[in-house]
Chains A and B, each alone.
Chain A
C-alpha cells in the first residue's frame, strides 16, 4: 500500500508542476507481461530477474514523453526507502538531476550501493537514524540497479529520464499523462530492463490523445 501511495504522490507532483505550462493529455494502456506469480493478498512489488531481464513483479511500466525539454530549475528530491528488507518503491522513475534519498526504515543496517554505468555510488553501512538521510544525485540518464551489500537479495531500480513527463502505470497497465506540451513527440513505455516500446504521438492543447502499447 505504501508503494501505491508513493506512486500516486509522484503522479500528483508531476501533474502540479507541468499543468501551468501545458494542458495536452495522453492516456492509454500498456499491455503488461503476464505475471506468473500467484496473486497474494498483501500486494508487494519487488524487482525480479528472469533470464537477465530486470522488471517489477507484478509488472509495472513507466510511460514517458521523449524529447528535449528544459531542465528543471528547482532541485528535485525523491525517496527510495528500505523497508522490510526491500526497496520502496522498487521502481522509481526520476528526471535527470534529481536527488534521491535512501531512508532506512528497518531496524538493521543497510549498505546501499550501485555499480550500474548510469550511476556508481556506495553509501556504506548506515543505521535507521542516520541523519542527514544518505542521498545521491542522479545526473546521467539510464537504469540504475540498487543493491544492498548486507542483504544480497535486495534489488531496486531507478530509471533516470531526460524528461519531466513520465508516469508509472497502474497494475492493469492504464496510464494518463497530462499537462503536456503540444507538438509531435515520441511516447515511450519502459517495460523492463531490456524492453522499451515507443509510439509517435500528436499532442494538441486541450485535447486528449489515446495511445495504447500492445
Chain B
C-alpha cells in the first residue's frame, strides 16, 4: 500500500485551506451583498410606509381644509355680488363702498363676538378690504369697522392686477410686536354688471385653519411658510431660520407643488413635508409645512437593521461551516487523485528501471553474441583450413579421409551458426539496414527448390509448386533469400520419406502470400508457441541437423521487411507456414527501409 508522502500531504492540506478560504470569501461576499440589498429594500419600504401613513393622516385634514376654503370662497363670491357693493363701484360712489359693505359683511366679521365664539369660528373674517381697478387697496374711512391693519400688512394685500378668479394668499401680521400671526386671505373678483370686466376685488382675511391642532397625530407640528419665513411658533427662532433656508432650497429645486425631506431638529430626525397652499395665486407662494418626528420609525428601522444583521451573521457562520465541510469533501477526490498519481509514478519508475536493466542486458547479450561470433569465426576458419589441408594429403587411410570430411562438414555448420548469430546480433542492436528493391520471389523459390536436391542426409520427397513467374516483393535479395531458404530447408529436413513439399505463392492486394507445407510428424502442441524462439528445436528428433536459429531469424527478417511469418497448422502429418511480404513491381524504386 502506497501512502502519501509528507509533501503531498502538505500540499493537499494547503489546497483544502485555499479552497476553504475561497469559499468563505464567496460566501462572505454573497452574504454582504444580500444583506445590503435586503436592508436597502427594507429601508425603502419603511420610508414608503411612513410617507403613506403621513400622507393619509394629512389628506384627511386637507379635505377639511378644502371644504373650509370652498365655504370661504363661496361666501366671498356671494358678498362680491351684493348690489350695494356693485352700485358703489359702478355708480362711482366709492365713499359708500365700505359703509355699504359693512352692513353686508357684518355677520362675516368677528367683531363683537365673544372670545369663545372667535375661537370656534374659523369661518369668521378678521378683516376685509377692497382693491381698486389697479389692484391697490382702497383705504377704509373707518378701519375699526373693517379690521385694523398696519400699513405694512395692508401693503401685502395689494396685487399686481385684479384677479379673474378667486385667489388665496397668506400674509404675516405682527400683532403686538412679538407674537406674529398668519392670516389666510381670499380675494374674490367683483365683475361689473354693466361691462362684465373685473372692476374690483374683495379681499377677506381669515384665521388660517390650524392644520396640526389637537386632531393631528402625536408629535406632528404644522405651520405656514410664506415670504421665505416659517410660521411655527413652537419652534425657536434660530431653528426656524435654519428650516427656512432648507425649505427655500427644496422649493426652489423642484417645480412640484409638494415634497418632503428629512431634517434634524434638536438632534432628532424629522420628516418635513411641504405643500403649496395657493398654487397659481397672485399672492406670494405659501407652503404648508408639516414636521413629523421620525424617532419611532427610526427605532423600528434600527431594530429591523439589527435583525437583518443578526440573520446575516448566522447565515455567514453557517456558510463558513458549510464551506469547511465542502472543502473537505472536495479535497477527497483530489487526495485520491494524488494517491493514484503517486502509485502511477512508482509503477512508472519501476517500469523504467526494468526497461533500463533490460536494455542493458540486451545490449550486453548483443555485444556478447557479436563478440562471440567474431571470436569464433577465426578459429573455425583456421580449423577448416587445417582440415582442408589434411584432406589434400594422400598418406592417410581411407577412414581417416571420411572422418576428415565429416569434420569439415561440421566446420561449415559452425560457420552457418556463427553467421546467423552475427546477423541476429546486428538486428537486435538495430544496426541492420535494408536496401529495399524489387526482388523476384518466383525466381528465388525456383533456385532454392533446385538446391534442395543437393542437400545431404535428406529423405526423398515430392515437390508440388504453384505460383506465377513474376512475383516481386520489396526487400533486400540476400535476406529475402535467407527467409525462403530457411523455410524450404525446414520443409525438407522435417519431412518423412516419400513425403511432399507444397509451395504456393500468390498476390493478395499489395501483399505477396507464400505458403510452404510439408508432410512429416507435426510439431508438438505445447511446443508450437515456442517454435519462433531462439535456440528452440521443437522437440524433434536430434538426428536432424539444425541449430534452432532458422525460424527465429526468418521471422525477424520478415518483420524487418514489413511482413510477417506464421505457423498456419501442424497436425496429422502436415505442417504449413505462411510468409507475407510487401509486394512490388519489377521496376519499382522501393524506398530504403531502416530497421
Contact = CB atoms under 8 A, between A and B. Distances in A.
A114 B96 CA distance: 11
Contact of B96 (A51, A53, A120): A120
11 contacts: A49-B193, A52-B195, A54-B194, A116-B93, A117-B93, A145-B87, A145-B90, A152-B81, A152-B82, A152-B83, A152-B193
Interface residues of B, number: 17
Given A115-B96, A117-B93, A152-B81, A52 B194 contact: yes
A46 to B, nearest CB: 13
A113 interface: yes
A188 interface: no
Interface string A138-157: 00000001011100100000
A52 B196 CA distance: 8
A114 B88 CA distance: 9
Contact of A49 (B84, B88, B92, B194): B194
Contact of B88 (A53, A115, A148): A115
Interface of B: 81-84, 86-88, 90-93, 96, 192-196
Contact of A115 (B82, B87, B193): B87
Interface of A is mostly: strand
A155 to B, nearest CB: 8
A140 to B, nearest CB: 14
Nearest to A53: B194
B84 A117 contact: no
B138 to A, nearest CB: 15
Contact of A149 (B83, B192, B193): B83
Interface in A114-150: 114-117, 120, 145, 147-149
The 4 closest A-B pairs by CB, nearest first: A49-B194, A115-B93, A52-B195, A115-B91
Contacts of B88: 115
A147 B83 contact: yes
A148 B87 CA distance: 10
Contacts of A49: 193-195
B50 to A, nearest CB: 52
Nearest to B89: A115
Contacts of A152: 81-83, 86, 193
A53 B90 CA distance: 11
A51 B196 CA distance: 7
A116 B196 CA distance: 19
Given A117-B92, A117-B93, A120-B96, A147 B194 contact: no
A53 B192 CA distance: 11
A164 to B, nearest CB: 27
Contact of A120 (B81, B86, B93): B93
Contacts of B82: 149, 152
Contacts of A115: 84, 87-88, 91-93, 96
Nearest to A143: B91
A52 B87 CA distance: 13
Nearest to A145: B91
